[in-house]
Each structure stands twice: as structure tokens, then as C-alpha cells.
Amino acid sequence: MRIRSILGTAGTAAGLAAVSLAPGAGAAEATSPAGSQGVAAVAPTVSPGADFFYTSGPGYTCPDDTFCARVWDPTRSTYKVFKLYNCHTYSLSYWGGTGGYANFQSGSRATATFYGESGNVLKNVPIGEQSTSYNWTPVWKIRNCY
């Protein structure tokens, strides 16, 4: 009797270990490309609102007299390009990672400025400057002109 009891306990423990260690449906769901678990993707936005379009990569046409900012949109798995035409300070929400920008504005007040969380100036972008690889993570606001 005692041997049967020991074997039964060992068998139960082995079965529980196999169940808890075996990959199942939950294991596949826990892994995502961004590495975050259980977090829904949110599209990047600007406030005040601005027109935008989508592009698959760094090549796109930014209209004349416009500052364009390209950021990854995880809800569509493509880049979202904001066309900042009206002179404002735009607050950025859900921006991060690498994107790009193009300053095709004109006039003496058309230098764009990127600001950090505390309002510190991160970068001034003169007319004609563009980048296909810029890290948006520290940027909280963009002022497209003065």
C-alpha cells in the first residue's frame, strides 16, 4: 500500500508539472512583436489634430509649406505621416521608436522645434532639413513654426 501511495503522489506531481510547463494557447498569446503583454496597441496622435496619411516606409512626399512627421502606427503596422501645416505647438501622444521628418515650410518663422517632457529643446529643424531615421521616444511636443 505504501508503495502505491508514493507512486500515486509522484505521478500526480509529474502530471501537474507537465501541465504547468507545457506550452499551450496562452503561451502564444503572451508574446508580441513589441514585447508588451496584454497591452492593446494605440495609434499615435497629435493635439491639436492634423491631417495625416499612411506610408510603408521612409519614402513619401511631404507637401510644400508643410512640416511632416513620420511615426510608426502599431494599429496598422505601417507609418503614419502627420502634415503639420498650421502654426501650433503640437502635443504628441503614443509616439515612440524611430520615424522621420521633413521641413518643407517656407518663410522666416518656419524653423521647427522638438521639445522633451520638461519643455527642454531637443532639436531645431531648419527649413529644408529632413531625416528618415529619428527617435521620437524623448519628444513630447513639436512646434512647427514661430
- What confidence tens digit (pLDDT) does each residue in 60-104 have? 999 999 999 999 999 999 999 999 999 999 999 999 999 999 999
Distances (CA, A) of 2 to 6, 10, 15, 82, 99: 6, 12, 20, 74, 68
96 inside domain? yes
Residue 71 CB partners (closer than 8 Å, separation 6+): 44, 79, 80, 82, 95, 96, 97, 99, 136
Specify the pairing of strand 141-143 against strand 112-115: antiparallel
* pLDDT value of position 29: 34
Measured in whole angstroms, the distance separating CA 127 from the mean position of its chain's CA atoms is 26
62 inside domain? yes
26 inside domain? no
Q: Domain limits at 59?
A: 45-143
Closest by CA to 15, choosing from 5, 25, 4, 7, is 7
The edge-to-edge listing of strands for the beta sheet with 89-93 is: 45-47, 89-93, 141-143, 112-115, 121-125
- In the chain, how many domains are there? 1
Closest by CA to 130, choosing from 106, 100, 97, 86, is 100
35 inside domain? no
Please, is 113 exposed, middle or buried when counting C-beta atoms within 10 Å of its C-beta (0-12, 13-18, 19+)? Answer: middle
Average pLDDT, the chain: 82
4 inside domain? no
Q: How confident is the model at residue 57 (pLDDT cuts 50, 70, 90)?
A: confident
* pLDDT value of position 39: 76
Q: Above pLDDT 70, what percent of the chain?
A: 74
Mean pLDDT of 105-132: 97
